[in-house]
Chains A and B, each alone.
Chain A
């Protein structure tokens, strides 16, 4: 008991000093003293959860049907492009019914060649040896491409990665805000934006797929067919964005939003809000060529399968710039510009969970939580003092050190403090002294049994440790399960409990043991007042 080597004292002292040092920036945050913390000292800070900082939490889920639809559409485009290349293979009756892409090969002798070139469009999947599409032939002239299960899964995974980046760019075009955008569980994206009080604008911004396409208008369609939604071969019927009807457009895409370099909200000659877009080199060249070939014909500007407008091509547009007109407000034009500039969402996202907390409520929670924490600590400190005297003082020092260590470790890992986390903090305060209660009661007991002072202290620490260890393992089990299953605030609670268990064993057992050993060695007490 008395042999407490100097290096151990230094080690324990060092751990505590580092812990306190790490906790200070978080405690200073938001107070006028924050600026006076020296730059050369650690700057780690605990981040506040949305329930304390205020802000919006959104959980988005990929629309599986839309994902499949978009994938089919993309495949359709590449099939058309591929077969138009030399040696050209003429196809017709393209269909995407039943989740499969199929088409007729006009020249039966070219079916094998078409299948061969379709295989070239499919990609092998890592490890499994499967490909992302199956290619087969039915009725000897119809080529069918059907997505494989693992191919769809891979495509969804890729799409979610892109979607995450797109969402981030839309919310934070300048890349300076402290927002969280994470993919979760394969088909979800978690978005947390501090400081947002009304998430409606946020949801609109994220919700827009923003798939922009320029297609030529098919003027050969007769109005009766249009009404029934039938389009000439190679064309499709799309509704107008303002809901006033529909129009037939060529399936072939002239240029798409993928080939944009920039989009900005602007105004047209009449002062109506519109969007200026700039194509990249390839897009500009293509747009120039197509407009050159189709002067005096209309083309459609299509956003998410709705026609925004269908202006006439008065002259070739060669500079790679264009304006998008529609019935925009300044806000909607601005939002669309941001969406276009950030790229299209590869899959539609639905909001499946939304939680928004105002900064005032968060501030109020912090305020009440801090007061409750301080009073709890004081009450426990007084209680320990009147119950155990000197040993209570040691337990109290350990308690305060423990509080700093918890904050310090949370800061080091940049952990998030949530409102339930504050409750976890208070609970830890109440429970952390349990180890000291166990030890002190055991020492009392051993003294009553007539052991000598040093013996009693030694036995007290030794015998109490088993129960302390087992009890803390049970806490770790429940807290770890909570951290694994819990979300947001609850996970914050579990994290505080987990850290608290570890630090409280350190402070309540090792640290107080050192204090007691140093005291006994210095004062050589004859009897113990405990």
Chain B
């Protein structure tokens, strides 16, 4: 059987030749992403701003305007219906329950009984209500968690490699998160707790490629002490290219399938990780590696630390 080789043997692509162009492009993209997110904001779900949501499955197709008018007539406050993929499944968002720390008002209950009366055969599949107090905590915890994960991983990379690698990892992560945020701001996809879970996953998984490439750079730095830094980075990137492509593809295949046919509730989570892996693959080549050049890593930078690096983890 002839085996599939997506990347031919002995590639010698000059990745680093485009590093400044890539840097400028990445910088612009990051600034645009962050700017757009700050200016337009994210479409935050009730998890983070409080409010109530019901999810309805109708027996027959329903028009969104019809639904909005009829729910408005119930006097439950401003209703914002949103289609979930087809014209029979809707999510209806309602304002925050009155009283800052109570979610026990009866709007969801009212819809639960009223909607099947207005639309025979309709079924309320889910009802959620989050008070302002809880949503504030959730938003705060999410931000802390993402920041902690980024710092924790950067520190680990610093301890296992060198400080320049830690900085590189942190910048890579910041870039990946910024781009994914920009995507969510631009598409108006709802950001809920699942998406935050996805962001935390991106922090772990987008760094996967970076770690593998850094490991190879470290190995080559020790092996070829006379080689200049740019050719050495190119060599390391080319040597790991096949692995980068194959792994990213398997993860993207698995997530693509989840996005395409998986439950709608976790579409946001799936697309965020999908995107994160895609961006992470790019940034592991064009951010993680060039950062080392800018931070002045040279083949003889770590000669003194040879002894301590010999204490590697060995497979049992």
Q: Which residues of A come within 8 Å of B, CB atoms?
A: 51, 59, 61, 198-200, 203, 207, 350-358, 360-361, 364-365, 368-369, 371-372, 375-376, 379-380, 383-384, 386-389, 419-420, 422-423, 426-427, 429-431, 433-434, 437-438, 441, 444-445, 448, 461-463, 465-467, 469-471, 473-475, 477-479, 481-482, 484-487, 489-490, 493-494, 497, 509-510, 513, 529-530
Chain B residues with CB under 8 A of A351: 102-104, 129
Q: How far is the CA of A350 from the CA of B257 in the complex (A)?
A: 42
Interface residues of B in 249-269 (CB under 8 A from A): 249-255, 257-258, 261-263, 265-266, 269
B227 contacts A by Cβ under 8 Å: no
Chain B residues with CB under 8 A of A360: 57, 123, 125
A200-B109, A386-B3, A475-B204 known, 4 other contacts, Cβ within 8 Å: A198-B109, A430-B255, A494-B197, A497-B201
Chain B residues with CB under 8 A of A380: 250, 253-254
Answer whether A358 and B125 are a contact pair too, CB < 8 Å, given A387-B4, A493-B197.
yes
Q: A52 → chain B, closest Cβ, in Å?
A: 10
Chain A residues with CB under 8 A of B23: none
Q: B94 → chain A, closest Cβ, in Å?
A: 13
**Could you tell me if B193 and A427 are in contact, using CB atoms closer than 8 angstroms?**
no
**Could you tell me if B243 and A461 are in contact, using CB atoms closer than 8 angstroms?**
no
Mark each residue of chain B from 75 to 86: 1 if its CB lies under 8 Å from any CB of chain A, else 0.
000000000000
**Could you tell me if A441 and B246 are in contact, using CB atoms closer than 8 angstroms?**
yes
Closest CB pairs A-B (n = 10): A430-B254, A478-B204, A351-B104, A430-B251, A485-B145, A467-B215, A361-B125, A372-B262, A376-B254, A365-B263
Q: B60 → chain A, closest Cβ, in Å?
A: 17
Q: B4 → chain A, closest Cβ, in Å?
A: 4
**Could you tell me if A487 and B201 are in contact, using CB atoms closer than 8 angstroms?**
no
Q: B176 → chain A, closest Cβ, in Å?
A: 12
Answer whether A379 and B219 are a contact pair too, CB < 8 Å, given A207-B104, A482-B197.
no
Q: How far is the CA of A490 from the CA of B153 in the complex (A)?
A: 20
Interface residues of B in 1-45 (CB under 8 A from A): 1, 3-6, 9-10
Partner of B201, one of A375, A427, A510, A513: A427
Find the A residue at minimum CB distance from B140: A485
Q: How far is the CA of A467 from the CA of B57 in the complex (A)?
A: 47
B61 contacts A by Cβ under 8 Å: no
Chain A residues with CB under 8 A of B109: 198, 200
**Could you tell me if B1 and A353 are in contact, using CB atoms closer than 8 angstroms?**
no
Chain B residues with CB under 8 A of A478: 149, 152-153, 200-201, 203-204
For chain B, which range describes its interface: under 10, 10 to 19, 20 to 34, or 35 or more residues?
Answer: 35 or more
Interface residues of B in 290-316 (CB under 8 A from A): 312-316
**Could you tell me if A423 and B127 are in contact, using CB atoms closer than 8 angstroms?**
no
**Could you tell me if B131 and A353 are in contact, using CB atoms closer than 8 angstroms?**
yes
**Could you tell me if B315 and A465 are in contact, using CB atoms closer than 8 angstroms?**
yes
**Could you tell me if A203 and B144 are in contact, using CB atoms closer than 8 angstroms?**
no
**Could you tell me if A423 and B112 are in contact, using CB atoms closer than 8 angstroms?**
no
**Could you tell me if B250 and A509 are in contact, using CB atoms closer than 8 angstroms?**
no
Q: Kindly count the residue-residue contacts between A and B in the assembled complex, taking CB atoms under 8 Å apart.
A: 249
Answer whether A358 and B149 are a contact pair too, CB < 8 Å, given A207-B104, A433-B250, A441-B242.
no
Chain A residues with CB under 8 A of B270: 423
Q: How far is the CA of A357 from the CA of B131 in the complex (A)?
A: 18
Q: How far is the CA of A478 from the CA of B205 in the complex (A)?
A: 9
**Could you tell me if A354 and B243 are in contact, using CB atoms closer than 8 angstroms?**
no
**Could you tell me if A426 and B134 are in contact, using CB atoms closer than 8 angstroms?**
no
**Could you tell me if A356 and B126 are in contact, using CB atoms closer than 8 angstroms?**
yes
**Could you tell me if B246 and A490 are in contact, using CB atoms closer than 8 angstroms?**
no
Partner of A354, one of B104, B153, B249: B104
Q: B133 → chain A, closest Cβ, in Å?
A: 6
Partner of B4, one of A368, A386, A486: A386
Find the B residue at minimum CB distance from A57: B128
**Could you tell me if A420 and B197 are in contact, using CB atoms closer than 8 angstroms?**
yes
Q: How far is the CA of A380 from the CA of B246 in the complex (A)?
A: 11
Chain A residues with CB under 8 A of B126: 355-358, 361
Chain B residues with CB under 8 A of A493: 194, 197, 201, 269
**Could you tell me if A429 and B104 are in contact, using CB atoms closer than 8 angstroms?**
no
Q: How far is the CA of A456 from the CA of B138 in the complex (A)?
A: 50
B71 contacts A by Cβ under 8 Å: no
B106 contacts A by Cβ under 8 Å: yes
**Could you tell me if B3 and A530 are in contact, using CB atoms closer than 8 angstroms?**
yes
**Could you tell me if A477 and B156 are in contact, using CB atoms closer than 8 angstroms?**
yes
Q: B45 → chain A, closest Cβ, in Å?
A: 12
Q: B120 → chain A, closest Cβ, in Å?
A: 17
Partner of A387, one of B123, B138, B201, B246: B246
B72 contacts A by Cβ under 8 Å: no
Q: How far is the CA of A357 from the CA of B127 in the complex (A)?
A: 7
Chain B residues with CB under 8 A of A437: 243, 246-247, 250
Q: A309 → chain B, closest Cβ, in Å?
A: 27
**Could you tell me if A466 and B313 are in contact, using CB atoms closer than 8 angstroms?**
yes
Q: How far is the CA of A407 from the CA of B262 in the complex (A)?
A: 19
Chain B residues with CB under 8 A of A419: 263, 265-266
**Could you tell me if A481 and B102 are in contact, using CB atoms closer than 8 angstroms?**
no
Find the A residue at minimum CB distance from B202: A478
**Could you tell me if A352 and B131 are in contact, using CB atoms closer than 8 angstroms?**
yes
Find the A residue at minimum CB distance from B52: A354
Chain A residues with CB under 8 A of B237: none
**Could you tell me if A434 and B265 are in contact, using CB atoms closer than 8 angstroms?**
no
Q: How far is the CA of A301 from the CA of B314 in the complex (A)?
A: 76
Answer whether A198 and B112 are a contact pair too, CB < 8 Å, given A368-B262, A387-B246.
yes
**Could you tell me if B103 and A352 are in contact, using CB atoms closer than 8 angstroms?**
yes
Find the A residue at minimum CB distance from B131: A352
Interface residues of B in 83-130 (CB under 8 A from A): 101-104, 106, 108-109, 112, 123-130
Answer whether A352 and B101 are a contact pair too, CB < 8 Å, given A360-B123, A485-B145.
yes
Partner of B106, one of A200, A471, A509: A200
Mark each residue of chain B from 55 to 67: 1 if its CB lies under 8 Å from any CB of chain A, else 0.
1010000000000
Chain A residues with CB under 8 A of B257: 372, 375-376, 379, 426
Partner of B125, one of A357, A423, A426: A357
A–B complex contacts, Cβ < 8 Å, 29 sampled: A200-B106, A351-B102, A353-B130, A353-B131, A354-B104, A354-B128, A355-B128, A360-B123, A372-B257, A372-B261, A379-B254, A380-B253, A383-B250, A384-B250, A420-B194, A426-B258, A430-B253, A438-B243, A441-B243, A441-B246, A448-B10, A461-B315, A466-B312, A474-B208, A475-B204, A485-B142, A486-B145, A490-B196, A493-B269
Answer whether A477 and B253 are a contact pair too, CB < 8 Å, given A350-B104, A482-B200.
no
Q: How far is the CA of A469 from the CA of B313 in the complex (A)?
A: 8
Chain A residues with CB under 8 A of B313: 465-466, 469
**Could you tell me if A354 and B103 are in contact, using CB atoms closer than 8 angstroms?**
yes
B273 contacts A by Cβ under 8 Å: yes
Chain A residues with CB under 8 A of B138: 487
Q: How far is the CA of A149 from the CA of B201 in the complex (A)?
A: 41
Chain A residues with CB under 8 A of B269: 420, 423, 493
Q: How far is the CA of A437 from the CA of B251 in the complex (A)?
A: 12
Chain A residues with CB under 8 A of B254: 376, 379-380, 426-427, 429-430
Q: How far is the CA of A388 from the CA of B250 in the complex (A)?
A: 13
Q: How far is the CA of A375 from the CA of B270 in the complex (A)?
A: 15
Partner of A487, one of B5, B193, B239, B249: B193
Q: How far is the CA of A430 from the CA of B254 in the complex (A)?
A: 6
Chain B residues with CB under 8 A of A461: 315
**Could you tell me if A481 and B148 are in contact, using CB atoms closer than 8 angstroms?**
yes
**Could you tell me if A352 and B211 are in contact, using CB atoms closer than 8 angstroms?**
no
**Could you tell me if B104 and A369 are in contact, using CB atoms closer than 8 angstroms?**
no
B212 contacts A by Cβ under 8 Å: yes
Chain A residues with CB under 8 A of B253: 376, 379-380, 383, 430
Chain B residues with CB under 8 A of A384: 250
